[in-house]
Structure 1
Amino acid sequence: MHERGTGKREIGRLLGIDESTVRKAIKRFEETGSNDNRKREKTARSSRNIQRAKGMIKRNATTKENSTRKLERNQFGDSDQDSR
C-alpha cells in the first residue's frame, strides 16, 4: 500500500490500527528489508560491569535502591523501552 502511494494515516484507517504503528512498520521495512522483528541490542557483560554490580549489591544489599532491576537500569541504561 505504502509503495503505491497510500498515506500512513489512510493505511492505518483501512487496517484499523494507529498511524504510529504503520509508521514504525514502514521504518522497520526500510531499514531491514523485511517486517521481521529487529534483534535487540545486548548489554555488555564485561567482567568490569559484573564486578561493579556485585560491589554495589554487596555494599548495601537490603535497600530498595539496590534492587536488581534498578541497578541494571542505572548501570546499563533502559533498553527495554521498545518492548513495552
Structure 2
Amino acid sequence: MSPSIWQIIIVGVLLVLLFGRGKISEMMGDVAKGIKAFKKGMSEDEIAAAEAEEEKKDPPKAIEHQNTATAETRDSKVAQKKAG
C-alpha cells in the first residue's frame, strides 16, 4: 500500500513545524556538502589508481648523472677570474 498525497502533505507539514524551514534548508545544504566531498574523494582515488597503473606500465627512466658544481666551487672559480 503506497501513501496517498494527503499523507505525504501531512508529514511534510509536521516536519516543517518541528524543524522550521531554516533547519531543513541547513540540513539539505549539509547533505549536499557531504555528497560533494564523497564524489571528490572517489575521483581522487580513481586518479591515483590510474597514475599507479601508468607507472607500472612505463616505469620512470634512470636520471643520468649530471656534473653539477657546488656553490663553493662556483664561488672559487668566480674569485679566481676576478683575481687573475
TM-score by length of 2: 0.27
Q: Which has the higher helix share?
A: 2
Q: Rg larger in 1 or in 2? A: 2
TM-score by length of 1: 0.27
Higher RCO (CA < 8 A, seq sep 6+): 1
